[in-house]
Amino acid sequence: MHTMKLRTLQQPSLMESLLDSLSITQNWVPTGATPVTDRSELMPDLQKLAMRAVKGEGAWRAWISHDDVRFFVAEMSMELSRERGSPALKVHHYNDRGQLQQYGVWVHLPGGAWQRCAD
């Protein structure tokens, strides 16, 4: 992918949309979960992670479900995006106490599907 196009994809609103798409298509978010749009609604540890994500040109998304908070941070992998010709995200999933639960690198394929890459 061209650098200008990749820079456009790094804009927070576009990265948030990509992270939404990935989270929902991979069933990481329970049906009926409520999206969190204001970081002040999060626990302090998650607020810190959200602030770090934004300062580091990343994006965060969170949902509150009946049992917990689903919190994700993503950053664009410029190198993999260029290599694959599609947006690639490095995604961290945290629990409601701010502890890392899972990490993965995902590529958004033409047609809207997502593919996990080797970490």
- The model carries a pTM of 0.86
First-to-final CA distance of the chain: 20
**Cβ–Cβ < 8 Å for 20, 87:** no
Beta strands 34-36 and 114-117 are unpaired
Average per-residue pLDDT in the chain? Answer: 88
pLDDT digit string (tens) for the chain, length 119 residues: 555 454 444 455 788 999 999 999 999 998 899 999 999 999 999 999 999 998 988 999 999 988 789 999 999 999 999 999 999 999 999 998 999 999 999 999 988 899 999 76
